[in-house]
């Protein structure tokens, strides 16, 4: 499961905690060259130090700022000369009922979950086309396949990630670029901490009572990355065995 990972240059957004942090740990163990990005630079630097990465392995990035994402990819190229994998992992889930009109939260989800992914693609794609190789991994969700009360906007953003990724898959065939969508169910991260609506938060905590560890996601990333170059794992949907939703 961890073949073809050693020495690959991997850029991870949202790497300071949760899915991104867990993935960074696993890929570092298998010899990947990592560039870690998030807004919380102190956490990134602590993680990089723990993993034995260099001082140039972290970049403070807000994925809603296109210029910052461009700087991130340029930094990876400056340090390592190329980008083999981009993991667009940064995301938010402040779910609420539409009637609550948490419009600022809707805007933030759209900016991070959709625009952040698009900005990552925009920054990495020209480089990968020149390389005639690369792998873009976008993070959707079970909510990218179905919607429930209180999850309309979040689900819409994650459906959008799947649509964007599928369009990208079809467009990049001439450039030997691979694309993967990963749709997790209840995985133990701090994602539910972004929910400000008390009733929705309480219901979501019940769903997450049997959440599986974040390293389950990391193993899926490693599985997709480790395939031979002529194998393109396009989509993985996974949940806790006990999760009905």
Known catalytic residues are 154
Helix axes 116-131, 152-171, angle to 10 degrees: 10
Q: Largest Cα–Cα distance of the chain, in whole Å?
A: 49
Cα 6 → chain centroid: 20
Burial class (CB within 10 angstroms; exposed 0-12, middle 13-18, buried 19+) of 93 = buried
How far is 201 from 213, CA to CA, in rounded Å? 20
CB 240 within 8 A of CB 186: yes
Q: Give the closest residue to 157 by CA, choosing from 169, 140, 137, 170.
A: 140
Tokens coding 170: 């079809």
| 3-state SS assignment for residue 212 | strand
Could you tell me if 44 and 60 are in contact, meaning their C-beta atoms sit under 8 angstroms apart?
yes
Length of the chain as a residue count? 245
């Amino acid at each position: 499961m961890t073949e073809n990972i050693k020495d690959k240059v991997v850029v991870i957004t949202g790497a300071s905690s949760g899915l991104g942090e867990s993935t960074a740990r696993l890929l570092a163990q298998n010899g990947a060259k990592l560039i870690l990005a998030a807004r919380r630079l102190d956490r990134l630097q602590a993680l990089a130090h723990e993993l034995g990465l260099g001082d140039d392995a972290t970049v403070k990035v807000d994925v809603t700022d296109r210029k910052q994402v461009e700087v991130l990819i340029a930094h990876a190229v400056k340090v390592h000369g190329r980008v083999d994998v981009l993991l667009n992992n940064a995301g938010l889930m402040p779910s609420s009922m539409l009637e609550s009109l948490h419009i600022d939260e809707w805007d933030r989800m759209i900016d991070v979950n959709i625009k952040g992914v698009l900005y990552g693609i925009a920054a990495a794609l020209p480089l990968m086309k020149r390389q005639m190789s690369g792998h873009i991994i976008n993070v959707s969700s079970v909510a990218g396949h179905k919607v429930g009360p209180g999850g309309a906007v979040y689900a819409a953003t994650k459906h959008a990630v799947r649509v964007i990724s599928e369009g990208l898959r079809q467009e990049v065939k001439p450039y030997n670029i691979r694309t993967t969508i990963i749709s997790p169910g209840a995985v133990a991260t701090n994602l539910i901490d972004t929910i400000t609506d008390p009733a929705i938060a309480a219901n979501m905590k019940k769903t997450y009572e049997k959440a599986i560890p974040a390293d389950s996601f990391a193993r899926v990333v490693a599985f997709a990355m480790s395939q031979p170059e002529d194998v393109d794992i396009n989509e993985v949907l996974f949940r806790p065995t006990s999760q009905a939703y």
